[in-house]
Structure 1
């Protein structure tokens, strides 16, 4: 009788691949916006990047070895990024007063040039990406946790 490691599930590979591709595309997109287009990120964008960039490596390795137990490491990163993105959106949409804004000195994400398709602000896009990553990691946890 062969026993398999519950952390290595080949059928979880597609979910891992989706999560990795989402984090990879997000990372490439923000690097393109910053390095190619010359749009400097605000302080909160930098903090969100600090939680997105490691996800590319963590999820990439997990995808290569089909390690569905990666949710233990990736989920806290995604949740912290989501919390910062949520706070950023509250600031962006004026729910939180400007006096609580840590982006006082330096670039701001509230300009019209910080939108995609002339209507979707980058902070909202970041919140959506982190939300989708959390959803994928929660599905992986629910389906493949021992």
Structure 2
């Protein structure tokens, strides 16, 4: 009888795949908006991209290796991206005064051309994606450590 610890693997690979696909689709979408549609991102969008782009690689490798321990590396990236997206949304919806807006001099995300799916603003979509990634990574963590 073997007594070594074996993490519960049921469903972890599917969660990893979902997280990777979510990060990949998000990255491809923002690249399409920026490079094909020619929409220049604001400063806060750039910071959010800085946390989303590495998630594609980190989660992709974890998915290929079935490495449920990836939550240790991916969760901090997703949380930092979420915090920036939250701040961006607070600015977008006017809950934070304009005087402390860091991206006032550059392109603005408040234009109608920066919406998708019939009016969903890109900052809100970013917050949603980071939120889903955090949920998936927490589920992976729970299944890995139980």
**TM superposition score normalised by structure 2:** 0.94
Matches of residues 1-146 of structure 1 in structure 2 within 5 Å?
Answer: 1=1, 3=4, 6=7, 9=9, 11-145=11-145
Which structure 1 residue ranges, 4+ long, deviate > 6 Å from structure 2? none
Number of residue-to-residue matches in the alignment: 145
| Alpha-carbon offset, residue 9 of structure 1 | 3.1
| Alpha-carbon offset, residue 104 of structure 1 | 1.5
* Post-superposition CA distance 1:55-108 (Å, at most 9, x none): 000000000010000000000000000000000000000000011111111101
SS in 2 for 1:133: helix
Gaps of 5+ in 2: none
Gaps of 5+ in 1: none
Q: Please, what is the CA RMSD of the aligned residues?
A: 1.5
* Post-superposition CA distance 1:26-69 (Å, at most 9, x none): 00000000000000000000000000000000000000010000
